[in-house]
């Protein structure tokens, strides 16, 4: 373990100097564009329109919109200042469990901006976009090989959209067997992502909760006990949201299949096993893959993501349009599946091409062995954090091997007056983004840490030393580090209750006074 | 491997701390029969140079818009994007951050989302907007589901001018969610009679303007008919730049406005990622899907922004949530809001005028060309042609002459008997030379 790297004088709030501007050195306040922009200002010079007789009928706008403009230098400054109020993976370890904040290679950004990818239209003739179709097919091939599955639907726009896609395929398959009216229950473990029950409910399924065993995983027997002729599918995350591998997954697959149902695997955590284990070997029928997690397309402040879905042979016929078919020497995008069993269309065009480019670039850079090494390093890093903190923090299911993320609860904080939230906010003062907190819901005061394979050992060691130091303070009753935290961030704690009670969701003249 | 900082010595030391002999031991929970005995049949890793070579070869097999006289639209549009937009969205703090769960260190993202929401509300003429959706088509499907929740009815009526892919997305979700949906026949000339079809069994009517054929539609009377029958009017658009010149859907009585924001700040990208816009009236706020940034104060009383009203969302409400959506289209929304800030009202209005003028110029030239007819009475930057012959073949022929002429209606509405129709878009990127090239290639190809 490292010692504290540098002792910083304890901060006395009274000593923070008041400033005329409200700025604190590099931490600069920035007004809204509505407060600094002007209706007649613009940062884009556009030539005069040709004089023509308009063809707008009576629908031309006759009142101002109220949109402020800024010149280019003002625009640069506004957004650069805003950007500096954000934490980012490029600036520090970002251990958000279940989110996978790993390194985003800039080569991938460069490639995605090649004119041949960024500047092609989804509806231009397919003969002028064969390279794009080849790219999509290559990505699909990689995904099928990595998962040992028989088909891929590329068009889902994010993980939750992928879940919708997979469950739509399952619902269609059940309807095709004439069981559409009877099989209307989906089994979901308590620890699942909220998107799983929300997806099932959207499609008219009712949710039956499967309990977890004391070790945090689902027993095949518990699934068997919940199975009957009404069950359409099980939605199971593996590795699960507690960071644990579902040991009985093969038996669970056999049980659901024997009962006539399908196995939807939430692939959010595929990054723990990619290149090491193939979900198709577990017996699953469908799984989405979050390209923005496992294959490192940037999270972008909350999207865009991409959620291709791999499908088993049984579900492949129901895949959505469009899909790619080889026809002689060329590739063809099938956009209309008239007469086939496809369940239809999920989105206007062909999916997140910009994300496909980046994900495939990540795969090619790593190679098959590199992808496996990335998974192994992610698992190694999480277990290293676990082994280095297990004597000061408590784990809900005992000290056992985890996958790419390690889950602690707040048992070790009991009686200290410090909550999981306080602990997370104190990490901000130490220069870290907190881990995922209060998820999964089944664990009290959950703290889910996912370090990823992108961290050096030195980075992990400093992170561990910091958490140990904070843990000691908490146990010693040093509330000053927690109750007021964060004190050193661009903002102190934000009043979330006020925001929900009196929603102010847009700027209006009067809100400027707050 | 250049992205992996751990050395073999690091790995050994870490394994020793964990107390296992090898990384493979960490996979002990996996069923033995699933452990791979041989490595997967996949290529080895490549250098950055070799990866870039691979993709350069693929990219060279596509014809980019900037290398052609380009007139393709029908849901995605080629516009010039200022260099500062792409620079700013690649700032580490925007590109490599995640959902602003910790507002104290995410004010940058939260403030631009608040500004984005305000801009979208102003543009659409609505009270509130969310922090964006996947794209225009999925936003439309979500709007229909929202209307069902609000009206407690489960039947939607879709205009024949709605982009057919949007209509298909709505139909797919509706069929599998066991809701009803009725779609009008393709309405090339905006003559359908929606009003007589509106009754008190409908939850909503979805109308696009400018529609997929380019026609402008006055929504006022349709809105009145909807409201008389307790139904909601959902207005859709695929070309956000049009809002710089046209009456807003809100001003014409729409209850929910959805659209594609790609054409402001975002590249064509072969169809994605794009950014769905979603706005509605105050009274419907609690049933709106998607993320929302709201204003609040911090412990020192300073104005701050935070994600809010999350009790509508899946991570809290699970199977009772308004939607299963867990993300927005953050970086694309950022590109949209930066570009719109650069434009401002003055720039957007001028950009819209140039788009319209360029389309009018092209329409005039085509009106004088043989064997084609412009079908639209009104349009913004896109209109539909009737050509003597098969439009899909025409487009292929013109492509060999360096002109990407538009979208054949048969690609959007296969089997509808509209094989001789072509949807043509013209934006500020088109020059006199492009228009001349269009007419010349048309004459040679027809």
With tokens 């009670």, the residue in question is A501
SS3 state of residue A234: strand
The confidence band for A511, taking pLDDT boundaries of 50, 70 and 90, is: very low
Position A16 pLDDT exceeds 70: no
B389 touches chain A (CB under 8 A): no
* Cβ–Cβ contact B136 with A under 8 A: yes
SS3 A287: strand
A168, A212, A175: which is closest to A190 by C-alpha?
Answer: A212
Are residues B93 and A62, on separate chains, in Cβ contact within 8 Å?
no
pLDDT band at A9 (very low <50, low <70, confident <90, very high): low
- Chain B residue numbers touching A320 (CB-CB < 8 A): 172
Closest CB to A67 among B33, B119, B247: B119
Q: What is the pLDDT of residue A338?
A: 76
Domains of chain B by start residue, with CATH: 65-81+345-445 (3.90.1150.10), 83-339 (3.40.640.10)
pLDDT value of position A512: 44
Share of chain A above pLDDT 70, in %: 96
Beta-carbon separation of B338 and A55 below 8 A: no
Burial class of residue A77 (count of CB atoms within 10 Å of its CB; 0-12, 13-18, 19+)? middle
Choose, out of B9, B79, B85, B98, the residue to mutate when testing the contact with A (most A CBs < 10 Å). Answer: B98
Among candidates B325, B341, B441, B89, which has minimal Cα distance to A118? B89
**Which of A329-338, A396-405, B92-101 shows the lowest mean pLDDT across its residues?**
A329-338
Q: Is the dihedral of CA A184, A190, A195, A196 positive or negative?
A: negative
Beta-bridge partners for B70: B404
Four-residue CA torsion sign, B63, B64, B65, B69: negative
Beta-bridged to residue A309, according to DSSP, are A153, A288
pLDDT for A191:
84
Q: Please report, in angstroms and rounded to a whole number, the separation of the first and last CA atoms in chain A.
A: 47
Measured between beta carbons, the chain A residues lying within 8 angstroms of B173 are: 202
Distance CA B428, CA A426 (A): 51
Comparing CB atoms, the residue among A53, A124, A245 nearest residue B29 is A245
What's the pLDDT at A491? 96
Bond before A239 cis per omega within 30 degrees: yes
3-state secondary structure of A60: strand
Whether the CB-CB separation of A290 and A156 falls below 8 Å is answered with no
Q: Which residue of B has its CA nearest to A40?
A: B346
Residue A13, pLDDT score? 57
Q: Does A377 contact B6 at a Cβ distance shorter than 8 Å?
A: yes
- Inter-chain contact B92–A388, Cβ cutoff 8 Å? no
Angle of helix A159-176 relative to helix B164-176, nearest 10 degrees, comes to 60
Closest chain B C-alpha to A203 CA, distance in angstroms: 4
Contact A379 B60 (CB under 8 A): no
Question: How would residue A6 be classed by pLDDT, with cut points 50, 70 and 90?
Answer: low
Least Cα separation, residue A475 to chain B (angstroms): 24
A374 within 8 A of A355, measured Cβ to Cβ: no
CB spacing of A119 vs B348 below 8 angstroms: no
Instruction: Please tell me the predicted confidence (pLDDT) of residue A513.
Output: 40
Average pLDDT over residues A382-399: 98
- Cβ contact B3–A366 (<8 Å): yes
Is the pLDDT at A14 greater than 70, yes or no?
Answer: no
Residue A228 predicted with pLDDT over 90: yes
- Nearest by CB: A59 against B25, B27, B247: B247
Q: Using one digit for the tens of pLDDT, what is the confidence trace for A353-368?
A: 999 999 999 999 999 9
> Between A130, A384, A499, which is nearest B308 by CB?
A499
> According to the 3-state scheme, what is the secondary structure of A359-393?
HHHHHHHHHHHHHHHHHHHHHHHHHHHHHHHCCCC
Instruction: State which residue of chain B sits closest to A106, comparing Cα positions.
Output: B90
With tokens 């060329």, the residue in question is: A330
Cβ-Cβ contacts under 8 Å, A269 against chain B: none
Q: What pLDDT, on the 0 to 100 scale, is given for residue B324?
A: 81
User: Is A120 close to B65, i.e. CB distance below 8 A?
Assistant: yes
Nearest Cα to B271, choosing from A158, A135, A120, A297?
Answer: A120
Of B25, B269, B324, the CB nearest to A354: B269
CB B331 within 8 A of CB A298: yes
Q: Which of A44, A383, A514 sits opposite B343 (nearest CB)?
A: A44
CA distance B229 to chain A (A): 25
Cβ pair B44:A57 closer than 8 A: no
pLDDT for the residue B70: 98
How far apart CA B359 and CA B366 sit, in angstroms, is: 10
Q: Are B253 and B73 in contact (CB under 8 A)?
A: no
- Per-residue H/E/C for A470-502: HHHHHHCCCHHHCCCCCCCCCCCCECHHHHHHC
**Cβ pair B105:A116 closer than 8 A:** no
State both tokens at A473. 């303070």
Q: How far apart are CA A408 and CA A205, in angstroms?
A: 33
Give tens-digit pLDDT for A92-135: 999 999 999 999 999 999 999 999 999 999 999 999 999 999 99
pTM confidence score: 0.97
Are residues A202 and B376, on separate chains, in Cβ contact within 8 Å?
A: no
From chain B, the residues in CB contact with A494 under 8 A are 103-104, 296-298, 304-306
Alpha carbon distance, N-terminus to C-terminus of chain B: 55
- Closest chain A residue by Cα to residue B423: A123
Mean pLDDT of A140-164: 97
- Write the residue in A163, A387, A506 that is nearest to B117 by C-beta: A506
Q: Is B75 on the interface with A (CB under 8 A)?
A: yes
Q: What is the pLDDT of residue B318?
A: 77
> How many CA atoms, within 13 angstroms, populate the side-chain half-sphere of residue B35?
11
Among the listed residues B47, B42, B232, the one whose alpha carbon sits nearest the alpha carbon of residue B149? B232
For chain A, say whether B163 makes contact (Cβ under 8 Å): yes
| A312 phi, psi to nearest 5 deg | -75, 170
Instruction: Describe chain A by its helix, strand, coil percentages, rounded to 5.
Output: 40, 10, 50
pLDDT of residue B19: 98
CA A67 to chain CA mean position, Å: 32
Pairing of strands B403-404, B69-70: parallel
Q: Which of B70, B270, B331, B355 to mutate to test the interface with A (most CBs of A within 10 A)?
A: B270
Cis peptide leading into residue B24 (ω within 30°): no
Taking one residue from A and the other from B, the number of pairs with CB-CB distance under 8 angstroms is 720
Contact A72 B82 (CB under 8 A): yes
Q: How would residue A55 be classed by pLDDT, with cut points 50, 70 and 90?
A: very high
Whether the predicted pLDDT of A12 surpasses 80:
no
Mean pLDDT value across residues A165-188: 96
User: Could you tell me which residues come within 8 angstroms of residue A314 by beta carbon, excluding any fewer than 6 positions away?
Assistant: A173, A262, A285
3-state secondary structure chain B: CCCCCCCHHHHHHHHHHHCCCCHHHHHCCCCHHHCCCCCCCCCECCCHHHHHHHHHHHHCCECCHHHCEECCCCCCCCCCCCHHHHHHHCCHHHHCCCCCCCHHHEHHHHHHHHHHHHHHHHHHCCCEECCCECCHHHHHHHHHHHHHHHHCCCEEEECCCCCHHHHHHHHHHHHHCCCEEEECCCCCCCCCCCHHHCCCCCCEEEEECCCCCCCCCCCHHHHHHHHHCCCEEEEEECCHHHHHCECCCHHHCCCEEEEECCCCCCCCHHHCCCCEEEEECHHHHHHCCCCCEEEEEECCCCEEEEECCHHHCHHHHHHHCCCCCCCCCHHHHHHHHHHHHHHHHHHHHHHHHHHHHHHHHHHHHHHCCCCEEECCCCCCCEEEEEECCCHHHHHHHHHCCCEECCEEHHHHCCCCCCCCEEEEECCCCCCHHHHHHHHHHHHHHC
DSSP per residue, A159-209: HHHHHHHHHHHHHHHHHHTT-TTT--EEEEETTS-THHHHHHHHTTPEEEE
Q: What is the DSSP string of A7-52?
A: --PPPPGGGSPP-SSS-BTTB-----HHHH-BTT--S---PPPP--
> Which CATH architecture describes the domain A109-363?
3-Layer(aba) Sandwich (3.40)
How many angstroms separate the CA atoms of A240 and B288, rounded?
A: 30
**For each of chain B's 446 residues, which pLDDT tens digit applies?**
999 999 999 999 999 999 999 999 999 999 999 998 888 999 999 999 999 999 999 999 999 999 999 999 999 999 999 999 999 999 999 999 999 999 999 999 999 999 999 999 999 999 999 999 999 999 999 999 999 999 999 999 999 999 999 999 999 999 999 999 999 999 999 999 999 999 999 999 999 999 999 999 999 999 999 999 999 999 999 999 999 999 999 999 999 999 999 999 999 999 999 999 999 999 999 999 999 999 999 999 999 999 999 877 777 777 887 788 777 899 999 999 999 999 999 999 999 999 999 999 999 999 999 999 999 999 999 999 999 999 999 999 999 999 999 999 999 999 999 999 999 999 999 999 999 999 999 999 98
pLDDT tens per residue, range A267-295: 999 999 999 999 999 999 999 999 999 99
The model's confidence at residue A89, banded by pLDDT at 50, 70 and 90, is very high
B280 burial level (CB within 10 Å; 0-12, 13-18, 19+): buried
Contact at CB, B96 and A401, closer than 8 angstroms: no
Question: Which of A129, A245, A432, A1 has the alpha carbon at shortest distance from B26?
Answer: A245
And the tokens for A87? Answer: 């934490």
Judged by CB atoms within 8 Å, which residues 179-208 of B form the interface with A? none
DSSP A345: B
The minimal CB distance from A304 to the residues B97, B273, B295 is found for B273
**Among B93, B168, B363, beta carbon nearest to A344:** B168
Within 10 angstroms of residue B401's Cβ, the number of other Cβ atoms is 16
- Residue B297 has its nearest CB partner, among A381, A498, A503, at A498
Angle at which helices B48-59 and A130-147 cross, to 10°: 130
Residues of A in contact with B344 (CB under 8 A): 37-43, 67-70
Tokens of B126: 């609505």
Interface residue of A53, A120, A343, A498 to substitute, partner B, most B CBs within 10 Å? A120
Give residue A480's pLDDT: 92
Residue of B37, B327, B330, B380 to mutate, testing the A interface (most A Cβ within 10 Å of its Cβ)? B327
Q: Is B22 on the interface with A (CB under 8 A)?
A: no
3-state secondary structure of A262: strand
The structure tokens listed for A286 are: 């469908």
Instruction: Give the confidence band of A8 by pLDDT, cuts at 50, 70, 90.
Output: low
How confident is the prediction for chain A on average, in pLDDT?
95
Q: Would residue A214 be called left, alpha or beta, if left means φ above 0 and alpha means ψ between -120 and 50 degrees?
A: alpha
């Amino acid at each position: 373990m490292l010692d504290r790297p540098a002792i910083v004088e304890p901060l006395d709030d009274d000593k923070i100097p008041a400033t005329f501007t409200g700025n604190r050195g590099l931490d600069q306040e920035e007004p809204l564009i509505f407060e600094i922009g002007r209706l007649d200002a613009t940062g884009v010079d556009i030539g005069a329109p040709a004089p023509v007789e308009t063809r707008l009928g009576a629908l031309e706008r006759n009142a101002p919109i109220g949109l402020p403009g800024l010149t280019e230098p003002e625009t640069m400054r506004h957004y650069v200042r805003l950007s500096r109020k954000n934490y980012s993976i490029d600036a520090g370890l970002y251990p958000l469990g279940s989110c996978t904040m790993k390194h985003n290679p800039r080569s991938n950004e460069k490639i995605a901006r090649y004119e041949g990818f960024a500047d092609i239209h989804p509806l231009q003739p397919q003969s002028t976009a064969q390279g794009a179709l080849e790219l999509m097919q290559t990505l699909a091939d990689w995904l099928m090989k990595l998962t040992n599955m028989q088909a891929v639907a590329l068009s889902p726009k994010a993980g939750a959209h992928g879940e919708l896609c997979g469950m739509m395929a399952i619902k269609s398959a059940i309807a095709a067997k004439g069981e559409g009216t009877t099989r209307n229950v989906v089994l979901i473990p308590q620890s699942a992502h909220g998107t799983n029950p929300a997806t099932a409910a959207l499609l008219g399924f009712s949710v039956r909760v499967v309990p977890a065993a004391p070790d945090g995983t689902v027993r095949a027997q518990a699934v068997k006990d919940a199975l009957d002729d009404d069950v359409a599918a099980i939605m199971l995350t593996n590795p699960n949201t507690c960071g644990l591998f579902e040991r009985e997954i093969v038996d669970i697959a056999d049980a659901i299949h024997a009962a006539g149902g399908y196995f939807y695997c939430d692939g959010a955590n595929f990054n723990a096993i990619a290149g090491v284990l193939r979900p198709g070997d577990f017996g699953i029928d469908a799984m989405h893959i979050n390209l923005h997690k496992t294959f490192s397309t940037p999270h972008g402040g909350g999207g865009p993501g991409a959620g291709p879905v791999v499908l088993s042979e049984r579900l492949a016929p129901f895949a959505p349009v469009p899909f790619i078919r080889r026809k002689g020497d060329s590739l063809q995008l099938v956009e209309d599946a008239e007469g086939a069993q496809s369940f239809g269309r999920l989105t206007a065009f062909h999916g997140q091409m910009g994300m496909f480019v980046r994900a495939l670039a990540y795969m090619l850079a790593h190679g098959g062995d590199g992808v496996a090494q990335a998974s192994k390093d992610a698992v190694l890093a999480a277990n290293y954090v676990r082994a280095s903190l297990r004597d000061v923090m408590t784990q809900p299911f005992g000290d056992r091997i985890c996958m790419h993320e390690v889950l602690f609860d707040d048992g070790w904080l009991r009686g200290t007056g410090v909550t999981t939230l306080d602990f997370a906010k104190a990490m901000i003062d130490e220069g870290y983004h907190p881990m995922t907190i209060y998820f999964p819901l089944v664990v009290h005061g959950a703290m889910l840490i996912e370090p990823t394979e992108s961290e050096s050992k030195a980075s992990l060691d400093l992170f561990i030393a910091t958490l140990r130091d904070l843990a000691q303070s908490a146990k010693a009753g040093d509330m000053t580090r927690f109750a007021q935290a964060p004190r050193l961030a661009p903002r102190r704690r934000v009043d979330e209750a006020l925001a929900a009670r009196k929603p102010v969701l847009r700027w209006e003249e009067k809100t400027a006074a707050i | 491997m250049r992205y992996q900082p751990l050395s073999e010595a690091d790995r050994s030391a870490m394994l020793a701390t964990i107390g296992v002999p090898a990384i493979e031991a960490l996979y002990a929970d996996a069923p033995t029969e699933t452990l791979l005995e041989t490595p997967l049949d996949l290529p080895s890793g490549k250098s950055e140079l070799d990866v870039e070579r691979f993709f350069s070869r693929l990219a060279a097999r596509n014809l980019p818009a900037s290398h052609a006289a380009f007139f393709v639209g029908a849901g995605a549009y080629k516009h010039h994007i200022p260099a500062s937009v792409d620079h700013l969205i690649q700032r580490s703090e925007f590109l490599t951050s995640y959902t602003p769960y910790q507002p104290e260190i995410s004010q940058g993202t939260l403030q631009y989302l608040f500004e984005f929401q305000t801009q979208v509300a102003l543009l659409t003429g609505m009270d509130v907007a969310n922090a964006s959706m996947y794209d225009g088509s999925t936003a439309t499907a979500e709007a229909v589901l929202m209307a069902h929740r609000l009206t407690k009815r489960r039947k939607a009526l879709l205009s024949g001018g709605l982009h057919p892919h949007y209509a298909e997305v709505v139909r797919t979700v509706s069929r599998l969610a066991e809701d009803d949906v009725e779609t009008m026949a393709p309405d090339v000339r905006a003559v359908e009679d929606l009003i007589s079809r509106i009754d008190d069994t409908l939850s909503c009517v979805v109308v696009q303007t400018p529609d997929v054929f380019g026609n402008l539609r006055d929504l006022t009377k349709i809105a009145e008919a909807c409201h008389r029958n307790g139904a909601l009017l959902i207005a859709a658009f695929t070309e956000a730049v049009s809002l710089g010149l046209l009456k807003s859907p809100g001003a014409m009585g729409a209850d929910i406005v959805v659209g594609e924001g790609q054409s402001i700040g975002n590249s064509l990208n072969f169809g994605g990622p794009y950014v769905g816009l979603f706005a509605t009236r105050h009274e419907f706020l609690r049933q709106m899907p998607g993320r929302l940034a709201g204003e609040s104060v911090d412990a020192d009383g300073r104005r701050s922004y935070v994600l809010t009203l999350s009790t509508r969302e899946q991570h809290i409400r699970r199977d009772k949530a308004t939607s299963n959506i867990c993300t927005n289209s953050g970086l694309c929304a950022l590109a949209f809001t930066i570009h719109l800030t650069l434009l401002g009202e003055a720039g957007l209005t001028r950009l819209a005028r140039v788009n319209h003028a360029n389309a009018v110029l092209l329409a005039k030239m085509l009106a004088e060309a043989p064997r084609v007819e412009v079908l639209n009475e009104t349009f913004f930057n896109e209109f539909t042609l009737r050509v003597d012959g098969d439009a899909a073949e025409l487009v292929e022929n013109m492509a060999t002459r360096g002109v990407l002429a538009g979208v054949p209606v048969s690609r959007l509405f296969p089997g509808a008997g509209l094989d001789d129709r072509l949807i043509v878009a013209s934006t500020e990127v088109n020059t006199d030379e492009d228009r001349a090239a269009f007419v010349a290639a048309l004459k040679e190809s027809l």
